[in-house]
Amino acid sequence: MGKTDKAILVFQTDFTYAEGAVSSMYGVVKCVDRELEIYDGTHYIPRFDIWSASYRLYQSLPFWPTGTIYVSVVDPGVGTSRRACVAKTATGHYVVTPDNGTLTHVARHMGITEVREIDETVNRNPHTRGTSVFHGRDLFGYCAARLASGIILWEEVGPAYPVEQIVRLPLPEPRLEGGLLTGIVEIVDPNFGNAWTNIPFTMFEKAGICYGDMLHLVVRHGAELVLECNLPLVRAFGEVGSGELLAYTNELMNVSFALNQASVVERYGIGFGGDWLISFAK
């Protein structure tokens, strides 16, 4: 980034709006440069949930303009020895975050070309050095604002370290073997209660599965069977009746399963993560 560039800033946290944390972060940004644009990703990541923070970055970051700086602060290790970093993606976006696993999905799906540890002697708010518990405001937001405004260049964020050292969460790959598609429930929709898998629709096509086909779905949490059912693969929710099960292609082109106008997550107790195993067969 050059000295004359001013990047868009997008923030996601687990802070909610119940108190003034988000407002304080944005105030610091405006103190650095009043012209900077600030947008919300979400501030309702589940508390301390690094997996969800990682997924939500992957969900939205590719749809922002090149050069956007995305600040992600879900930081149960705040104030400890975990690295504070800025990562540059292969698409030319930047992520300012604790290096605690939050970069997992971005590294897998977008690629990371460089990562720098934030130099706190330069890029930390000098007015709040007496506390170590609000790095979202004092370190990540402040450094992101300086980078976005052009006060510092990319090389001035801090020292580079090997991309291979980025902390990554275990992220299983989807598989197709003998007509059986396997993967995980990678995330759930907190509003509508749908369950999103990590299996791309293209893999269903390779298996010879088309819209309108009936699928056999099995969901396990570890060794525990949670749900086993048959359901149709459809293009739109309205193709089945209210309250009926369906599979569909979500906004990231992965196949998900749901109840029409109801929550499959609540009805069957569906969770998400690397130990929520699923399989589909025609």
Tell me: the pLDDT tens digits for 143-172?
A: 999 999 999 999 999 999 999 999 999 999
For residue 132, name the pLDDT band (cuts at 50, 70, 90).
confident
Its domain, for residue 71, covers: 9-165
Residue 56 lies in a domain: yes
Is residue 260 within 8 Å of 242, Cβ to Cβ?
Answer: yes
Q: Return the residue matching tokens 């980034």.
A: 1
Average pLDDT of the chain is 95
Mean pLDDT of 92-103: 97
pLDDT at 128: 86
Give yes or no: residues 256 and 219 share one domain: yes
Cβ-based burial of 266 (10 A; exposed 0-12, middle 13-18, buried ≥19):
exposed
For residue 4, name the pLDDT band (cuts at 50, 70, 90).
low
Last residue of some domain: 134, 165, 196?
Answer: 165
Mean pLDDT of 46-69: 97
Closest to 144 measured CA to CA, from 93, 81, 94, 103: 94
Residue 38 lies in a domain: yes
Residue 16 lies in a domain: yes
Please give the tally of structural domains in the chain.
Answer: 2
pTM above 0.85, yes or no: yes
| Alpha-carbon gap, residue 187 to 277, rounded angstroms | 12
Residue 73 lies in a domain: yes
Give yes or no: residues 70 and 129 share one domain: yes
Check which CATH number belongs to the domain holding 124 and give it: 3.40.50.10790
Give yes or no: residues 18 and 127 share one domain: yes
Q: What percentage of the chain carries pLDDT values higher than 70?
A: 98
Give yes or no: residues 206 and 160 share one domain: no
Residue 170 lies in a domain: no
Per-residue model confidence as pLDDT tens digits over 250-274: 999 999 999 999 999 999 999 999 9
Q: What percentage of the chain carries pLDDT values higher than 90?
A: 92
Mean pLDDT of 111-132: 92
Give yes or no: residues 161 and 192 share one domain: no
pLDDT at 2: 46
Check which CATH number belongs to the domain holding 267 and give it: 2.40.30.90
Residue 129 identity: R
Give yes or no: residues 239 and 209 share one domain: yes
11-48 burial code (b ≥16 CB/10 A, e <16):
bbbbbeeeeebbebbbebbeebeeebebeebbbbbeee
Give yes or no: residues 66 and 196 share one domain: no
